[in-house]
Structure 1
Amino acid sequence: MNKSVLFFLCVFCFRSIAQTIDISEARIYTSVTDKQVLRRSVEVLQQEVKKRSHLDWPLLTKLPSDGKPYVGIALESDLSGFPIRVREEIRKLPVINAEGFKLLVIPETKAVFVVGKDARGILYGVGRLLRKMEISHTLVSISDKLSMATSPKYPVRGHQLGYRPKTNAYDAFTVEQFDQYIRELALFGANSIEIMPPRTDDDATSRHMKLPAIKMIGEQARICKEYGLDVWMWYPNMGSNYTHPDSIQKELKERHEVFSSVSPLDHVFVPGGDPGDLEPDVLFAWLEKMSVVLKKYHPKAKIWVSPQVFRPTKKWFDAFFGHVNKNYPWFGGVVFGPWVKMPVQEIRRVVNANIPIRHYPDITHNYSAQYPVPHWDLAYAMTLGRESINPRPHDEKVIHNALDEYGVGSISYSEGTNDDVNKFVWSDQDWNPDTPVIETLRDYARLFFGPEYQESAAQALISLENNLKGPLLTNEGVARTLMQWQTIEEDASPELWQNPRFQMGLIRAYYDAYTRRRLLYETEVEQEAKDILGRIRSGSSLANIQRAKAALEKAWQWPILPEYRRKCFVLADSLYRSIGAQLTIAKHGAMSGRGNFLDNIDIPLNDAPYMLDQLTKIEKLSSESERLQKIDQLLRRTDPGPGGFYDHFGSPESWYRVVSDIPWEKDPGSLQSPRIGFGVGLVGEEWVDEIKATGFKGQVTPRVWMKQAKTLYDQPLKIAYTELDPQSSYRMKIAYTGRFRSRMKLTTDDGSVIHDFLQTGEQPLFEFDVPQKATADGKVTFIWNCGEGERGSQVTEIWLMKK
């Protein structure tokens, strides 16, 4: 290649590379005069730039011609105020639809144009501009190649912001904080906010609330109106009776008070259950009466309903969808959310084509949820718990895109700020499911952390998600994740230190690293105790039991990394001050199981509680031979004997036996496939004591009983064994633990019945003979089925022992 050609190619490449242009001294001009169209869009642009740069961008009354930077804002239908060249360039961009916008940069004049299809399009165009600009203390710049035309794929895009004590931060928000948070969600394309009435399945008030709930929901609705967003209300049926006239009048009176206190109100979502289970005939008769009150205050509002019920039956569903398909004039559509038994694909088939389906995705919980973290490590389940700070950007995209085509969009189920990253990823996916996760995270980091952290913070958030994947014991990436966040921490400005989004990421990085180091330490401590017990000989049991107990107690007698632990509490205090996040019960006023994961920071991560309980009982035995026998049984608890098999189905090494025909990516809600479950589950449906793992009649249980394989509702759970001895007979011991107390039946693939329906939750261990014919070919598949209306099958351990 000759030098002249090479020179030409280099110049061409250089000119093609995007450059940034300085628009720090920009002004704003808009040809829109209708305040109902502009709403707060110009104000948002001015305020968000000033917050980050301290620069004032004034609003001009006419198009500038002095060659200095400016931002032009217009409706696509009226570009007459812009120069001819600008109009031509804007028209060259692809067609946009409702709520869409176009962005265009003219480098020569340092002019930026935001063109909306409608009022919302202008707001979302301003949002995308703010996401793409680099704004620092005294400099605002933007790529000279910025050019786009985009419209949302789905018409419903939003999040639930419930002002009630059960949330882990929202109940501490001020009006100003709700305004800012709603604004930020809108910057990423949200067009709907779902609020709640004062009475739900929760306390009426909390020590954190700045206003009574009835006043705050009025403020939330007002804020949405100012931004031009839709207002939804999640309104469960909390009354005790919906057939008696007196009870109905009492409920209607409450609806009058609530519906008259908010404006606007565009839709009301009434869950079929969780809470407020009602039979469909009663439910729809009540909704008919409620619709009259709703229409009085909000004539265009519609009522949406979910087939959400804990113990569903075919009769219930037939009646429910029979009502849905009657097309009541007040009926808006069907909501697909947590604890809806029927896959959304099936719902789409059974409801009339003109009836919309709205997704109600649970993006806030880690387990016992609609979309749990797949194959989550037990150490995380015990410490981070059900509702922790949980950025899951890539998981959220997979979950969204597996099911999005069956609905008109979504409004997420959120219990606070812990799922903050997930909200913004989900909104971007509702706008365009092809949006790469990293693009959203870079925008998020650039806007909320600062342009200097665009790449480091985006990658650090991905690393927090990666921390949650696979066995924690071998996840060496957890230490690297902490290093990433520490690098940001070392250079953090005072403003960043006060930034709750930075605080949330940093506390998770330290918490994860602390948890993994404890797991390594405590796993070794447990093995040390077992080694001591394994060396016991006749006459030495009592002394060695004491030594083993002392070894087990090392974890709390001589804890490791106290500086990491202190750091977590300091950051928890910072989050409480900045956004009212409640990470502990005693100090921060959290509700149990609702974001207070810091209370779990010292939970034992080994079997020390169980072993100490067993050793204390063994010590009390009077016979040395009996003590030795019990110690041997303790050490051999999982031994299936010669030629036998043992599996714990919460462990990755046993999961290959669990039959699954549908990958997680296709069925993230596991309505048609198995999932991992957590819980011991005798008293109620939650873990009785997470620290000691008690559950069955107060006894301290093995740690493995906290994690099991499970299916939901009447979906069969199948577990397959191969390489059995076809000449032998087997006896089967099973541990049935878990969150649900279900009636289950166990059969085999050849039709043999191992046991008929029995009630789990009464005792953990059962033993049965396996018919020899079931294993005569050297393999067998065990199949568990629940009775109709049950919540699911769950199996924790299996011993197959040769007889």
Structure 2
Amino acid sequence: MAFLNLVAATVVSSKEAKGAEAKAVDVLIEELEKRTGVRLSRANSFPDGNTPVIAVGTMDSYPSIEGFDGERLPKDLPILKPEGYALRTVSTTDNPTVSIIGADARGVLYGVGKLLRSLRWGDHLIQLERELNLNEAPSFPLRGHQLGYRPKNNAYDAWSVEQYDQYIRDLAIFGANSIEILPPRTDDDPIGPVMKVEPMEMMIRLSEIIASYGMDTWIWYPNLGKDFSNPATIEAELAEREHIFSSLPHIQHIFIPGSDPGDMEPEPLFKWCEQVAGLLNRYHPEAKLWLSPQVMNGDPTAWKNGFYEQLSKEPDWLGGIVFGPHVDEALPELRRIVPQKYPIRRYEDITHNFHCQYPVADWDLSFALTLGRESSNPRPLAQKHIHNELASYTVGNLSYSEGINDDVNKFIWNDQDWNPQTPAVETLRDFAGWFISCELADGVAQGLLALEDNWLGPLAANEGVELTLLQWQQMEREASERVINNYRFQMGLLRAYFDAYTKRRLFYETDLEYRAKEALREAKHTGALAAVQQVEQILSRAVTEPVAQDYRRRCEELADQLFANIGYQLTVTRHYAIAQDRGAFMDAINAPLNDARWLRIRCALIQEEQDEMKRLMMIDEALNRINPGPGGFYDNLGSYRSNRRIDPGQGWKKDPGYLYSPRTAHAVYLLSGAITEAKEKERGGIPLAWINHINVMLDTPIIVRYDHLDPSTDYIVKVAYVGEIGVEAHKAVQVKLTANDTYVVEESLLVNGSAVTIREARIPREVLSSGELKLTFLRTQGTKRLNIGEIWLIRSEPQQVQV
């Protein structure tokens, strides 16, 4: 039974209310009308009789509502902290009342948001089912997200001004107080095929919308000029910024990344930023400029040291430091380095799955190949942990986002920035209940947690994937049309179908690979060429006789519906995504999950050979590619089985950004044209073991251990090093390899970018007298990541077999 029935309530506020305070009342009335069909009446005085009342105002304006008397103010009202609110309910026959009293205009908005999230609503239904007696204020002063209007993201560029307004409002209801926008010129094309508004016009409109909710406008403004030592470049860059600074009505902060993009050295970077800050303050006197020590290119250590040297001079124009992707110091260390006068803001990557700041821990290769780097990725428990592990060193977070795919993660961060003690499932219930359906609040909340569980451990062994789909399918069958057409429900439903489809294909295509290898094993009886033909027939069944096509079709339907609803760009051709790795994961829904690509290359090479004996030898080599021989060892370091050999370092829980720990990584770029077909054929194909590899940053070593070795023999260590993604082939990482901390196996091996380097070396028996081996791989110079795919440890002397 309802504690308060508010369907006939009057919303009462002061006639003096204006700006964000008045906007909060609009939000309350408009959002309830959208969901219930009921438009609550509005007044500036308390009504007579027993009309339910929702009274809204700040500490200053609330007493100015007509008809106010001392009895209307809660007796136990505390001193409210900035942006905080008191929310009280009084159920009586005489004006049952909900009071929302904010410390300031923002506090009013957040109090309204909390009330909305606490209501049970439906068609002509507005009920409060429990008494509220809340005094709340945010734990962190900065809470928000970047919403960039550019073609690179997977949805925002398709939005109208009204859709942006609604999304900013949604974030505000969950406590956000800042939105970061982008200038028209970034490291992206300025105009995209789905844009409805010219970028400069949208930037101005967004600044107005953000301010209308009393929120702060941040601008992410990278340095894209090619030569800042050239006066003409300086003049042009300043002119562009002056146009923007003078055109936008509201700017509170500018964030300039040190890199990604941008390649200025620290000293000219700081000099340039001083000029930008002066120009900014000419139009926005209170605005602050922030910098990040992000570095991608050149010598990262030298660049960082130069940045910190400039920072130690404590320039007056600098407002604060930003911690985000490509900052190579952990937050505690960064806080130690940065002078205390400067706050640190988080710029957390909540949008990507791998090759990113916070990759999914030990993510299954099948998902990396299909869902890719930027898919719908609710990770509520992981995001809460990441937030809380590092929260104490900063003033809050304004996250990096490339689109709608991280929608759930945004609201988790909002709630954690408001109160880190909030359980993730509580946020999910509020999220589902307010945005989707009160009746499905717990079902959707648990369903989102289940989607996160789908990504835990090896996909083939994850029994929860099918159960997750069954639960989402039941909600799908029983839901109203309104729910079925809700984009947030569609996103969860799509993932449930996609994950189950991927698992079904994994089993099927793994079996096809085994059957193909069986055909090759019969080559001595059938002939090599006949066996190769049979391999192609077997592998092609993944396309000619596909499985679970009802799942795939439902995924396609949902993708089209999401594009129609919110411009979610899940394919390049139908939905205008700029690239598959920019959210178009539906283009990879049928990506091979077995080693078919490698097997086909091998078979093509076999067919080119004229001698049957050589063809049979090549088949034997292919079947034994990973075989280290009797007494030997083979490890694909990105696999679950081999992971046990790797020293975990600090591990994910203490080091979720893997700055000091090895992590499973995915070189999917190797399969996307980065290596030419001729080069691939020359290499003998690209096995999936190269895609799924281990990865470390900078000075963190990769340590691999073996035991039970034969101390009476030498061993050959053979290693497949995976070159860094996106790095030109001539830009190498230099690697040192030692055995048992004493023997130098490789002093300065060069591993070129965007390629795979196979290297063999001998480890003498004297090093292995204990029967144990510790291999330590250390990057000593060059690009910042070291990647290793495979290791073979092979006895260099044949075993003596007694007959």
Scaled by the length of structure 1, what TM-score is found? 0.94
CA deviation after TM superposition for structure 1 residue 323, in Å: 2.0
Q: Which amino acid aligns with 1:575?
A: L
1:406 aligns with 2:393: yes
CA distances 1:189-216 after superposition (whole Å, capped 9, x unpaired): 1000000011110001001111111110
CA deviation after TM superposition for structure 1 residue 97, in Å: 0.9
Identify if the C-alpha distance between structure 1 residues 443 and 729 changes in structure 2 by more than 3 Å, giving closer, same or farther.
same
The SS at the match of 2:309 is: helix
Q: Distance in 1 between matches of 2:676 and 2:573?
A: 17
Alignment of 1:92-491 (within 5 A): 95-109=79-93, 110-311=96-297, 312-491=299-478
Identify if the C-alpha distance between structure 1 residues 680 and 362 changes in structure 2 by more than 3 Å, giving closer, same or farther.
closer
Q: Does the 8 A contact of 1:679 with 1:687 survive in 2?
A: no
Q: Does the 8 A contact of 1:273 with 1:310 survive in 2?
A: yes
Q: Which amino acid aligns with 1:380?
A: F
CA deviation after TM superposition for structure 1 residue 720, in Å: 1.6
CA distances 1:596-635 after superposition (whole Å, capped 9, x unpaired): 0000011111011111221222133222222222111111
Alignment of 1:712-731 (within 5 A): 712-731=697-716
Q: Does the 8 A contact of 1:71 with 1:111 survive in 2?
A: yes
The SS at the match of 1:397 is: helix
The SS at the match of 1:656 is: helix
Q: Distance in 2 between matches of 1:347 and 1:469?
A: 31
Q: Distance in 2 between matches of 1:79 and 1:385?
A: 51
Q: Distance in 2 between matches of 1:738 and 1:142?
A: 58
Q: Does the 8 A contact of 2:706 with 2:774 survive in 1?
A: yes
1:757 aligns with 2:744: no
Identify if the C-alpha distance between structure 1 residues 776 and 143 changes in structure 2 by more than 3 Å, giving closer, same or farther.
same
Unpaired segments ≥5 residues, structure 1: 1-17
Q: Which amino acid aligns with 2:514?
A: Q
Match of 1:10 in 2: none
Match of 2:519 in 1: 532
Q: Does the 8 A contact of 2:737 with 2:776 survive in 1?
A: yes
Give the stretch that moved more between structures: 661-670 or 541-550.
541-550
Q: Which amino acid aligns with 1:295?
A: N
Q: Does the 8 A contact of 2:325 with 2:357 survive in 1?
A: yes
CA distances 1:475-534 after superposition (whole Å, capped 9, x unpaired): 121111111111111122222222111111111111111111111100111111122222
Give the count of matched residue pairs.
Answer: 781
Q: Which amino acid aligns with 2:536?
A: K
1:767 aligns with 2:752: no
1:494 aligns with 2:481: yes
Q: Does the 8 A contact of 1:603 with 1:691 survive in 2?
A: no
CA deviation after TM superposition for structure 1 residue 579, in Å: 0.6
The SS at the match of 2:87 is: strand
Identify if the C-alpha distance between structure 1 residues 39 and 717 changes in structure 2 by more than 3 Å, giving closer, same or farther.
farther
CA deviation after TM superposition for structure 1 residue 724, in Å: 1.6
CA distances 1:250-271 after superposition (whole Å, capped 9, x unpaired): 1111111111221210000000
The SS at the match of 2:722 is: coil
The SS at the match of 1:233 is: strand
CA deviation after TM superposition for structure 1 residue 83, in Å: 5.4
1:709 aligns with 2:681: no
Identify if the C-alpha distance between structure 1 residues 738 and 145 changes in structure 2 by more than 3 Å, giving closer, same or farther.
farther
Q: Which amino acid aligns with 1:630?
A: M
Identify if the C-alpha distance between structure 1 residues 758 and 681 changes in structure 2 by more than 3 Å, giving closer, same or farther.
farther
Identify if the C-alpha distance between structure 1 residues 636 and 378 changes in structure 2 by more than 3 Å, giving closer, same or farther.
same
Q: Which amino acid aligns with 1:283?
A: L
User: In the alignment, which of 13, 29, 33 is matched to residue 50 of structure 1?
Assistant: 33
Match of 2:800 in 1: none
CA distances 1:682-707 after superposition (whole Å, capped 9, x unpaired): 7xxx9536999986868631111101
Identify if the C-alpha distance between structure 1 residues 688 and 738 changes in structure 2 by more than 3 Å, giving closer, same or farther.
farther
CA deviation after TM superposition for structure 1 residue 473, in Å: 1.1
Q: Which amino acid aligns with 1:732?
A: V
Q: Distance in 2 between matches of 1:681 and 1:38?
A: 50
Identify if the C-alpha distance between structure 1 residues 788 and 506 changes in structure 2 by more than 3 Å, giving closer, same or farther.
same
The SS at the match of 1:341 is: coil
Q: Does the 8 A contact of 1:27 with 1:71 survive in 2?
A: yes
Identify if the C-alpha distance between structure 1 residues 531 and 138 changes in structure 2 by more than 3 Å, giving closer, same or farther.
same
Q: Distance in 1 between matches of 2:706 and 2:601?
A: 34
Q: Does the 8 A contact of 1:729 with 1:772 survive in 2?
A: yes
Q: Distance in 2 between matches of 1:441 and 1:564?
A: 26
Q: Distance in 2 between matches of 1:314 and 1:633?
A: 43
Q: Distance in 1 between matches of 2:468 and 2:417?
A: 29
The SS at the match of 1:108 is: coil
Give the stretch that moved more between structures: 152-161 or 327-336.
327-336
Q: Distance in 2 between matches of 1:129 and 1:364?
A: 29
Match of 2:23 in 1: 40
Identify if the C-alpha distance between structure 1 residues 95 and 628 changes in structure 2 by more than 3 Å, giving closer, same or farther.
farther
Q: Does the 8 A contact of 2:33 with 2:39 survive in 1?
A: yes
CA deviation after TM superposition for structure 1 residue 782, in Å: 1.3
CA distances 1:616-663 after superposition (whole Å, capped 9, x unpaired): 221332222222221111111111111111100110011011112312
Identify if the C-alpha distance between structure 1 residues 96 and 776 changes in structure 2 by more than 3 Å, giving closer, same or farther.
farther
Identify if the C-alpha distance between structure 1 residues 653 and 229 changes in structure 2 by more than 3 Å, giving closer, same or farther.
same
CA deviation after TM superposition for structure 1 residue 464, in Å: 1.1
Scaled by the length of structure 2, what TM-score is found? 0.94
1:732 aligns with 2:697: no
The SS at the match of 1:582 is: coil
Q: Distance in 2 between matches of 1:590 and 1:366?
A: 18
Match of 2:643 in 1: 655
User: In the alignment, which of 48, 62, 65 is matched to residue 48 of structure 2?
Assistant: 65
The RMSD of aligned alpha carbons is 2.0
Q: Does the 8 A contact of 1:74 with 1:116 survive in 2?
A: yes
Q: Does the 8 A contact of 2:258 with 2:291 survive in 1?
A: yes
The SS at the match of 2:127 is: strand
Unpaired segments ≥5 residues, structure 2: 726-731, 797-803
Q: Distance in 1 between matches of 2:275 and 2:522?
A: 74
Q: Distance in 2 between matches of 1:543 and 1:145?
A: 77
The SS at the match of 1:784 is: strand
Match of 1:7 in 2: none
CA deviation after TM superposition for structure 1 residue 763, in Å: 4.4
CA deviation after TM superposition for structure 1 residue 787, in Å: 2.8
Identify if the C-alpha distance between structure 1 residues 353 and 436 changes in structure 2 by more than 3 Å, giving closer, same or farther.
same
Q: Distance in 2 between matches of 1:708 and 1:770?
A: 23
Q: Which amino acid aligns with 1:49?
A: L
CA distances 1:443-466 after superposition (whole Å, capped 9, x unpaired): 000101110111111111111111
CA deviation after TM superposition for structure 1 residue 141, in Å: 0.7
The SS at the match of 1:584 is: coil
Match of 2:592 in 1: 604
Q: Distance in 2 between matches of 1:564 and 1:493?
A: 21
The SS at the match of 2:101 is: strand
CA distances 1:47-81 after superposition (whole Å, capped 9, x unpaired): 00000000011112211231221111122356545
Q: Distance in 2 between matches of 1:257 and 1:468?
A: 46
Give the stretch that moved more between structures: 120-129 or 479-488.
479-488
Q: Which amino acid aligns with 2:697?
A: L
Percent identical: 43
CA distances 1:167-199 after superposition (whole Å, capped 9, x unpaired): 100001100001000000000110000000111
CA distances 1:290-321 after superposition (whole Å, capped 9, x unpaired): 11211111111111000001144433222212
Give the stretch that moved more between structures: 508-517 or 140-149.
140-149
Q: Does the 8 A contact of 1:382 with 1:690 survive in 2?
A: no
The SS at the match of 1:799 is: strand
Q: Does the 8 A contact of 1:539 with 1:624 survive in 2?
A: no
